[in-house]
Amino acid sequence: MADLRINLAGIKSPNPFWLASAPPTNSGYQVQRAFEAGWGGAVWKTLGDPILNTSSRFAAISFNGQRVAGFNNIELITDRPLDVNLKEIYETKKKFPNHAIVASLMVEPKQEKWHEIVKRVEDVGVDGLELNFGCPHGMAERGMGSASGQVPALVEKQTLWVKEVAKTPVIVKLTPNITDITATAEAACNGGADAISMINTINSLMGVDLDTWNTIPHVAGKGAHGGYCGPAVKPIALNMVAECARHSQINVPISGIGGISNWRDAVEFMLMGATGVQICTAAMHHGFRIVEDMIEGLNHYLDGKGIAAVSDIIGKSVPKYSDWGNLDLNYNIVAKINTDVCINCNKCYIACEDTSHQCIEMLSDASGKNYLRVWEEDCVGCNLCAIVCPVDGAIEMIEVPNEMPPMTWNERQAVINAVITSKVDTTK
């Protein structure tokens, strides 16, 4: 059994699976049940001035039979008084001293407001704080959440105010509703953040009812944008984690969030630089006990690879992530159709002929049986045929040796620019 413990900026937990700040961490009852199920940590549903919620709060997209491919909510932060939450945090920490309890916080961007809540929350023994600069709906209209998180100067200033009084590690949770998340991540670091977490939810409108013309969800016939999460956002979140992980000025641990639904997703986030992960939608879809599969799967994966501790995989894929300009233009792959496995559905042929590079041909053998063939010389290795193929193993993408040495766009432009500006010495 591998060692699954993590230490995120001094916050220790028995495994990397934390519940994210959201409905599953609304109360002591829920967090204690989650810990009993095996979750290593929980970020308590955001504390602040208790709010008022609407009825009808969630919506989900099911896609081709997959329920909850994407999930949306218009629920705000806690609607319970702070002292009620603090009492339950204290009791939960007492029962589960080795599990991580992090308090998510959101107040108006005023120094005294931050000082007050930090002191009150730390008094009950939380292991850390997470500043919610990401919630995109409702609270943002009041200048909090993503309204703060979209302005690097506000992120830095509020982080500084928290750090003036905080005794526990401070995680800054970032909004994805911004062009370049590294700008706000860097601002958090400049403010003294001990760690960053990402992503919060993405601005979304889930749909419009074709009969009533109401938004989905709607509240008495009116809708407002919500926050999108779930499996559909994972690639967006993973990129943002990776961009921060490889950024030279962002040197704090990362807590990865966004569509993580199983141990495989968790491993991907950790390979791309996350020290641990936070999960919400998968727990809301399947219940707390999904963490059992996550722990078991992660253990098997690490044992199978001979890795003693999960912390050993953190960031191992980060050096493999770069800018497009550093990719090798002379690297070639082509599609190879395995005619023994192919069912001749022609999906690949149609995809290639209509929307790609017209390099798959339908032929007939001597017995009149149809088969598909790739013209490798014209195949650009786009992967589309393999993506649309419904049969595993029917199409492989294989590497083709190139007689030319590796050449990136950046290298190419450097030499061409040198030629343009100074003319290459032709006598060499």
Partner 1 sequence: MTEHQQFLAERDKIDFFIQKGFRIQSVNEHLDGATVEFVHPNGDVTEVLLISNANARKYFSSLLIKQNPIGK
Which SS3 state, helix, strand or coil, does residue 346 take?
Answer: coil
Measured from the CB atom, is 309 or 416 closer to partner 1? 416
Verify binding: residue 62, partner 1, rule CB under 8 A: no
Q: What's the one-letter identity of residue 383?
A: N
Considering the complex, what minimum distance in angstroms separates the CB of residue 358 from partner 1?
8
Q: Residues 187-206: x/- map of binding to partner 1 (CB under 8 A)? A: --------------------
Measured from the CB atom, is 211 or 425 closer to partner 1? 425
Binding to partner 1 (CB under 8 A) within 398-417 occurs at 404-405, 407, 410-412, 414-416
Binding to partner 1 (CB under 8 A) within 69-128 occurs at none
Report d(CA 367, CA 369) in Å as an integer: 6
Verify binding: residue 308, partner 1, rule CB under 8 A: no
**The token pair that represents 280 in the structure block:** 């919400």
Verify binding: residue 357, partner 1, rule CB under 8 A: yes
Verify binding: residue 373, partner 1, rule CB under 8 A: no
Q: Are 133 and 171 in contact (CB under 8 A)?
A: no
# binding residues, partner 1 (CB under 8 A)? 24
Considering the complex, what minimum distance in angstroms separates the CB of residue 349 from partner 1?
17
Give the containing element (helix H, strand E) for 257: strand 254-257
Which SS3 state, helix, strand or coil, does residue 34 take?
Answer: helix
Report d(CA 178, CA 296) in Å as an integer: 36
Indicate the pairing of strand 195-198 with strand 170-173.
parallel
Of the residues 135, 244, 352, 385, only one is catalytic, namely 135
Q: Where does residue 422 rank: exposed (0-12), middle (13-18), buried (19+ CB within 10 A)?
A: exposed
Report d(CA 172, CA 129) in Å as an integer: 8
Verify binding: residue 362, partner 1, rule CB under 8 A: no
Alpha-carbon distances, residue 145 vs 22, 149, 164, 412 (angstroms): 14, 6, 20, 44
Considering the complex, what minimum distance in angstroms separates the CB of residue 426 from partner 1?
5
Measured from the CB atom, is 274 or 379 closer to partner 1? 379
Verify binding: residue 391, partner 1, rule CB under 8 A: no
Choose the stretch contacting partner 1; rule: CB under 8 A; options: 72-80, 195-203, 258-266, 372-380.
Answer: 372-380
Measured from the CB atom, is 390 or 405 closer to partner 1? 405
How crowded is residue 183: how many other Cβ atoms within 10 Å of its Cβ?
Answer: 15
Verify binding: residue 322, partner 1, rule CB under 8 A: no
Verify binding: residue 222, partner 1, rule CB under 8 A: no
Indicate the pairing of strand 226-229 with strand 202-204.
antiparallel
Considering the complex, what minimum distance in angstroms separates the CB of residue 333 from partner 1?
14
Q: Are 285 and 325 in contact (CB under 8 A)?
A: no
Verify binding: residue 179, partner 1, rule CB under 8 A: no
Considering the complex, what minimum distance in angstroms separates the CB of residue 359 from partner 1?
9
Indicate the pairing of strand 41-47 with strand 370-374.
unpaired
Q: Is 342 a catalytic residue?
A: no
Considering the complex, what minimum distance in angstroms separates the CB of residue 404 from partner 1?
4
Question: Residue from 216, 377, 396, 399 that binds partner 1 (CB under 8 A)?
Answer: 377
- Tokens 């550093």, residue? 326
End-to-end C-alpha distance for the chain, whole angstroms: 61
Report d(CA 7, CA 86) in Å as an integer: 24
Residue positions annotated with a catalytic role: 135
| Binding interface with partner 1 (CB under 8 A) | 329-330, 357, 375, 377-378, 404-405, 407, 410-412, 414-416, 418-420, 423-428
